[in-house]
Structure 1
Amino acid sequence: MTVETRTPALRRVLNLRYLVVFGLAYLAPTVVFDQFGITSDLTGGMQTLAVLITTVAMSFTAYSYSLMVRAHPVAGSAYTYVQRSVNPWLGFFTGWVMLLDYLLLPMICYLLLGTYLNAFVPGVPVALWVVAGAVFVAVFNVIGVRAAGRINIAVVVAQVVFSAVFAIVLVVVILRAQGTTGLIDTHALVNPDTFDTGNVLRGASVLAVSFLGFDAVSTFAEETVEPRKTVPRAVMIVCVGGGAGFAVMAYLLQTAWPTSVSDMVDPNVGILELIAHTGTSWIEVPFLVVDNVSTIVCAMAAVAAVSRVLLGMGRDDVLPRRFFGRVDARFQTPVRNILATSVISLSAIFYADDLLGAASLVSFGAITGFVLVNYAAINHYFVRGGRRHGADVLKFLVLPGLGVLVTVVLWVGIDAHAKELGLVWLGLGLVYIGVKTRGFRRPPAPLALQDAD
């Protein structure tokens, strides 16, 4: 007599509310404050313009994601979409390059946490904050997405409330200093004196990191009720809603301190300098509390998402299946992947003085993957599926095609050093898959995932 054993599977427990909250937690509404210094400095005081460019670009890509998750509602996200809708080789390299942003985004979160808390409590080094954050995030992700989801709801609400309060405070500051006319400042959008196309695009490419929430949502298709309906809606809500909020806050920040580009001393903590400059020091402690808690929650969402991507690649035996392709029987989460990601995230210690460099490297992986997902949508529906009549041309060629175009433009704007490191990473992937396929004599392992119901 034999006893049938079942491979532990992910639990289908998430609805639209949880997905939107998860995406916003990953996106982190207060990240616009963290980015104020570096993007304002980089773009010559035109953070708002960079946010708007990024929002438009990411909206096209989010649309392509919504198409692809309807076709393949499984945990592998961009890797799975390109693997199934284009070919296994390009699918592997999509997954490999996006591992840069999947694996390193938690690093950005811990780096922000360490930088701000070190500025507030200088006696505690950045490295200690990084390690403490990584341990905390790992524990909650092992427990499961529902436990993390409850925390996400509370923290996202806190971020939205704080952002609304801060927006009101900034409006009052602007009115007192400049009157009603101060609320309309075209230089916060386009400043002819400092405008540089390359710098604005570079700023927009860095900001793309802030929009990874919609990509992360797609990794939870196997844990979502009615994924073909629910996940696409969540993807678009997170992308468009997040972008609109970022744009409003960026405009108010820039308008409240129009000379920030020339006056800022340390862009890495530019928001703290803005608080001091505007005489609103009372808000500094609430900001640090909300922002650092949201940074931790962002890291929780990032680790949860990358662990699912690694699970998809592991189950396909693209990565070693025995390690990456398993779901823990007790917790029903990919525990090994969570721990591996947490260890890699500790590399934040080495980027303690280079937040922009770290963000640029993450952007390389994300934007490269976005280009390929937009292409996969065209290939799946328009080329292979023959959807070429009437409105189908707009839905399956024009809109994803615009997604390809604008993400390529953002890719051009990525920092040159980040491109070099990204290409080195791709080279390592080429070596790895060459060995894995015995000198490219057979394609990467066929997909083992089953479509969700």
Structure 2
Amino acid sequence: MPKAIFWCVGIGTLTMFVCGYVGMLVVPDWKDYIGNENWMNTVLFQVSKMTGGEGFGIFFTAGYLTELAVFNLVATAAGARLLYGMGRDNLLPKSIFAKINKKWKTPHWSILIIVTIEFILGISANMTTLSNLVNYGALFGFAALNLSVIWLYYVKKKGESSIKLGSQANWSPKGAQHIRYFLLPLLAFFVIIYVWVSMDKLAQIIGTAWLVLGFLYLVIKTRGFRKLPPQLHL
């Protein structure tokens, strides 16, 4: 599984780099547009129009909008399914999020809540803020993941060694292994913090407010961390 993850990241990075490089070759005077934010936000459309003319640009736009619609449907369904699971297992109010529509057999309240939030954000925030807001949660998760590696192996000392070393329990890194289990996670954490600081301020405010609300809700559900939170079963 870890090797498959590395292969996916490597192939995805190479594919995006090659596609971006080949696409920019179509624009010989790209330096004239690099400071134009509107042009940068529509660069795929601009490249498609330069490549195949106005007709191909329209064709690309139609396909792009269709892809966005399909992705939004899938993302909304996945989010609604997650909220339903959280409601069913009493992580969220069960009377709302675990409610199933009798006719369509769908968690309709979860879907309506997601669509309402999407609509409000869509008409009140710009593209930069929305993209940074999406990345806020991902960056927080990656930062927590890297810190958890250090916490597991150096604070709790309950980590497991790699398969090559026999998957030993309560294992502690030695020698050059500190690079993998301490130095790299710590470096990744600071890189993520640097990216986070560079984010749009409004996205930082909204994301942090949502994080604080989630933390306070966790405190309430665990009665001040005196009991374990409800378990989510997917």
Q: 1:287 to 1:308 in 2, by over 3 A?
A: same
Task: Say whether 1:419 aligns with 2:204.
Answer: yes
Q: For 1:39-79, what per-residue CA distance to the aligned partner results, in whole angstroms no more than 9, with x for missing partners? A: xxxxxxxxxxxxxxxxxxxxxxxxxxxxxxxxxxxxxxxxx
Q: 1:387 aligns with which of 167, 171, 177?
A: 171
Partner of 2:24: 254
- Report the TM-score when normalising by structure 1: 0.40
For 1:240, the equivalent position in structure 2 comes to 10
Kept after mapping to 1: 8 A contact 2:49/2:56: no
Instruction: Specify the alignment match of 2:117 in structure 1.
Output: 344
**TM-score (normalizing by structure 2):** 0.69
Partner SS, residue 283 of structure 1: helix
Asked if structure 1 preserves the Cα contact closer than 8 Å seen for 2:49 and 2:55, the reply is: no
CA distance in 2, matches of 1:421, 1:348: 11
Alignment of 1:190-201 (within 5 A): none
Instruction: State whether structure 2 residue 63 is matched by structure 1 residue 294.
Output: no
Give the unaligned 5+ runs of structure 2. Answer: 160-169
Q: Secondary structure at the match of 2:91?
A: coil
Q: Could you say which residue in structure 1 is the equivalent of 2:144?
A: 372
Q: Which runs of 5+ in 1 are unaligned?
A: 1-228
Distance in 2, Cα, partners of 1:288 & 1:311: 34
Report the Cα offset of residue 369 of structure 1. 1.9
Shift of 1:372: 1.0
CA apart distance, 1:254: 3.2
* Separation in 2, partners of 1:264, 1:448: 42
Instruction: Give me the whole-angstrom Cα distance separating, in 2, the residues matched to 1:375 and 1:358.
Output: 26
Q: How many residues align?
A: 218
Return the offset for 1:291.
Answer: 1.4
Q: Give the counterpart letter for 1:340 in structure 2.
A: I
> Within 2, Cα distance between the matches of 1:417 and 1:449?
34
Deviation at 1:394, TM superposition (A): 5.3
Q: Secondary structure at the match of 1:294?
A: helix
Which one-letter code corresponds to 2:136 in the other structure? F
What is the correspondence of 1:103-182 to structure 2 with a 5 Å cutoff? none
1:434 and 1:410 map into 2 onto residues whose CA distance is: 29
> CA contact under 8 A between 1:378 and 1:397: conserved in structure 2?
yes
Identity of aligned residues (%): 27
Deviation at 1:287, TM superposition (A): 0.9
CA contact (8 A) 2:139 2:192 kept: yes
What SS class does the counterpart of residue 133 from structure 2 fall into?
helix
Structure 2 residue identity aligned to 1:373: L
Q: Is the contact between residue 264 and residue 270 of structure 1 (CA under 8 Å) also seen in structure 2?
A: no
The answer to whether structure 1 residue 407 and structure 2 residue 192 are counterparts is yes
Contact 2:153 2:173 in 1 (8 A): no
The alpha carbon displacement at 1:429 in A equals 3.0
Quote the Cα distance in structure 1 between the aligned partners of 2:131 and 2:11: 22
User: 1:276 deviation in Å?
Assistant: 4.5
Partner of 1:160: none
Q: 1:428: which partner in 2?
A: 213
Q: 1:396 to 1:310 in 2, by over 3 A?
A: farther
Q: Displacement of 1:284 after TM fit?
A: 0.8
CA RMSD of superposed structures (Å): 3.8
CA distance in 1, matches of 2:233, 2:45: 47
The reply on whether 1:447 has 2:224 as its aligned counterpart is no
- Residues 219-277 of structure 1, C-alpha deviation per residue, up to 9 Å, x if partnerless? xxxxxxxxxx5xx6665454433332222222233343222225675544343344455
How much has 1:288 moved relative to structure 2?
Answer: 1.5
Structure 2: how far apart are the matches of 1:233 and 1:338? 36
In structure 1, how many angstroms separate the alpha carbons of the residues matched to 2:97 and 2:178? 39
